[in-house]
Structure 1
Amino acid sequence: MSISTAFHPSLSIDGAIPDVVVVSADGVHFYAHRHRLLAVSANGMGNLLPPPGAVNTIPPLLTLHAPHSADVVNVMLHTMYGLSCAHYLPTLETVEAAVDSLSLLYGVSVPPLAVPGMPLFQLIYSFAPFRPLDAYAIAAHHELHDLAVMISSHLLAYDLSQLPDAAAQKMGPVYLKRLFVLHQSRVAALRGILFKAPETHLPVAGCDQDNQQMLVRAWALAVAQLVWDVLPSVSTSALKALLEPIGATITCPLCVASLQRRVTEVLYEWSAVKVSISPTVCRPRTHR
């Protein structure tokens, strides 16, 4: 008989020993505590657990057979207990199957178990750097708002025109729209920042107003090329590398100084533009 190393027969929680054993589809036994499972399940673990009033009718060790693999059951129980299972290195597919089962089958409200600081929050967010779209879709599907906000910043470089239909359906219209709004608002903000040219200075010997228009025209040309293909993920270092060469042919030190000030302003303003979806949730209006 295979027994879970985390949920074993001698596991003591709240001063109690296990009174439930969950057997996975592949035969692994997980020893758990009925009061812990009932505390987070609104339907008695899919009506598999008797209600508290039926204490006298249940055996000392109740056996539940779960139609899930041991990997999925392991994530489910760790989540219900508020424990981290990251050291088991579950796949994102396993995590998603566990979260879906908790929500759909076992009456568990997932959002309270996935707030910042909770193990489930950290587990799903750990996939953001290399699977941001899938992680965002899971967070959006289960309305894990704080998690979706943090993951969305990893999607700035994603081409939303290539978004698969399955991912769009999973995240739903609200979070899909917010992702599009994030991309569009960042592009619009960058264009607005760049369209302001460097300031001109008072005419001096060797640099009159006509000469200064060379810098303005060079800026306008560079900006026009940049904003045509600009991505919402463009970094400040990339912007600096694209804008500083504008002054390569400028000989007036005052014009060069004006260009450097404008580049510095652009980088500062761009770094202040938000990089994630809105941290506030717009609730639907109720009609009386």
Structure 2
Amino acid sequence: MEYFNLSPSTEPSPPATGIGADVPDPTNISGSVSDRPVHPTAPVGINMEHPEDATIAAAFPPSLRIDDHLPDVIIVASNNVYFYAHRHRIANASSNNLGGLLDWGVYRRGFLPSIRLPESGDIVNVVLHTMYGLSCTHFHPTLETVEAALDALNKYGVCVQTHTAPYQPLHQLILSLAPYRPIDTYALAGKHQLEDLAVTISGHLLSFDLSTITDALATKMGPVYLKRLFLLHQGRLDALKNIILKPPESHPTTPGCNPAQHGLLTRAWALATAQFVWDATPSKAFPEFEVHPPETGHSPTAGLSVVGISPNSLKALLDPIGDKIACESCRLMLQQRIQEVVVSWSSVKVRLTQCPLWSPQILITFLVLQPTI
């Protein structure tokens, strides 16, 4: 997060009390910005060299003009970061006037009212950007910062569901964290009942091992979103089994390939796909799954997830079945079947879908029967 450091000799000390402390009018401040360089790409939460100094958030300076109005209130974070804000913007976004704190500000001639919040500057930065409908992705807040900001938004009467709707800045911010912390981001979406976010984030969890979900994560996301994640994995596994159970079709008898030889292809297909049908579970990887004959010199495919396997990877696993098939007609039938498998697997859903809520008794029964929990 970008800060302007204020010299203590030109700027008063941060207010000792939380609300109503007098802070000079920003139009009367002169020479308060030091020569210390500001790093434009510094993330929110950067460690300040002198935490006792008052600092101004670069995104909310005294000169920030919104709706043709200069700031008329100062928000002071717990680490003495000053945010020059606009009361009408905060009042419009908050249903409780910032937890009742906004009502306490008292105007005095030449001074602006200030409100001290218990949250740190990086959290307040996300909160104010959300209230203003602005993006703060360029500050690179951590997932922990975003989670604390969502809790703060709820506390200060801001509807999180409204501001996390698709194409909203906060929606895009949370999505930007999903590729790096998918299960934690999904749990955060479940905690706040953010349906659209949970659906999108679930696409990053196809290869996630459900057996590693901790009690804390399960509690955070709640039983409904936990159940839906299991259903997504189980549904994809069932679909994959149904797709690959069917062997390639037999071609008409030719002089070089009679019906007895047709069985070679069927057996090779059944051997290569047997582990999908009998051993696979939603969370299980298959490092021992190898369709490459030892004579071909290929290395085994390791660590691929059954549920999260891509169509191209599935094709790569099935293609070597034909390495030992001499009949060109059989090889052609094999390639046609593999193409059908790839197309069918590509059409299987990769995200959550809406499903009715289950009663607690049915949900407990479902979870108890899952071998991966």
- The answer, yes or no, to whether TM exceeds 0.5 is yes
1:172 aligns with 2:219: no
Of 230, 233, 248, 1:183 maps to 233
Q: How does 1:182-221 map to 2 (within 5 A)?
A: 182-221=232-271
Residue 116 of structure 2: aligned partner: 65
Counterpart of 2:209 in structure 1: which amino acid?
D
Residue 50 of structure 2: aligned partner: none
Measured in 2, the distance between the counterparts of 1:255 and 1:233 equals 29
1:101 aligns with 2:101: no
Indicate the structure with greater helix content: 1
Gaps of 5+ in 1: 52-56
1:203, CA displacement in angstroms? Answer: 1.8
1:226, CA displacement in angstroms? Answer: 3.8
Measured in 2, the distance between the counterparts of 1:231 and 1:264 equals 18
Q: Is contact 2:247-2:266 (8 Å) kept?
A: yes
Deviations 1:188-235 (A, max 9, x none): 100100001101122221222211011111111111034434621011
Residue 94 of structure 2: aligned partner: 41
Measured in 1, the distance between the counterparts of 2:357 and 2:310 equals 33
Q: How does 1:3-152 map to 2 (within 5 A)?
A: 3-50=56-103, 58-59=106-107, 61-103=112-154, 105-152=155-202
Measured in 1, the distance between the counterparts of 2:157 and 2:88 equals 15
Measured in 2, the distance between the counterparts of 1:248 and 1:4 equals 65
Q: Is contact 2:126-2:136 (8 Å) kept?
A: yes
Q: Is contact 2:276-2:306 (8 Å) kept?
A: no
TM-score scaled by length of structure 1: 0.92
Measured in 2, the distance between the counterparts of 1:220 and 1:183 equals 23
Counterpart of 1:9 in structure 2: which amino acid?
P
Deviations 1:128-158 (A, max 9, x none): 1111011111111112211111111111111
Runs (4+) off by over 4 Å: 281-285
Please give the secondary structure, in 2, of the residue aligned with 1:29: strand
Counterpart of 2:319 in structure 1: which amino acid?
E
1:174, CA displacement in angstroms? Answer: 1.1
Measured in 1, the distance between the counterparts of 2:118 and 2:191 equals 22
Counterpart of 1:194 in structure 2: which amino acid?
I
1:281/1:76 CA distance change after superposition, 3 Å: farther
Residue 222 of structure 1: aligned partner: 272
1:262 aligns with 2:337: yes
Percent identity over the alignment? 52
Please give the secondary structure, in 2, of the residue aligned with 1:46: coil
Please give the secondary structure, in 1, of the residue aligned with 2:170: helix
Measured in 1, the distance between the counterparts of 2:324 and 2:355 equals 49
Residue 295 of structure 2: aligned partner: none
Which sits farther off after the overlay, 30-39 or 228-237? Answer: 228-237
Deviations 1:21-72 (A, max 9, x none): 1110011111111111111211111111229xxxxx8316321110011111
Measured in 2, the distance between the counterparts of 1:92 and 1:192 equals 39
Q: How does 1:244-255 map to 2 (within 5 A)?
A: 244-255=319-330
Please give the secondary structure, in 1, of the residue aligned with 2:99: helix
Please give the secondary structure, in 1, of the residue aligned with 2:184: helix
1:270, CA displacement in angstroms? Answer: 0.5
1:232 aligns with 2:307: yes
1:153 aligns with 2:228: no
1:271 aligns with 2:334: no
Q: Is contact 2:224-2:357 (8 Å) kept?
A: no
TM-score scaled by length of structure 2: 0.72
Counterpart of 2:125 in structure 1: which amino acid?
N
Please give the secondary structure, in 1, of the residue aligned with 2:98: helix
Measured in 2, the distance between the counterparts of 1:226 and 1:240 equals 14
Measured in 2, the distance between the counterparts of 1:185 and 1:283 equals 17
Counterpart of 1:79 in structure 2: which amino acid?
T
Please identify the structure whose Cα radius of gyration is greater: 2
Please give the root-mean-square deviation of Cα atoms over the aligned residues, in Å.
1.7
1:200/1:274 CA distance change after superposition, 3 Å: same
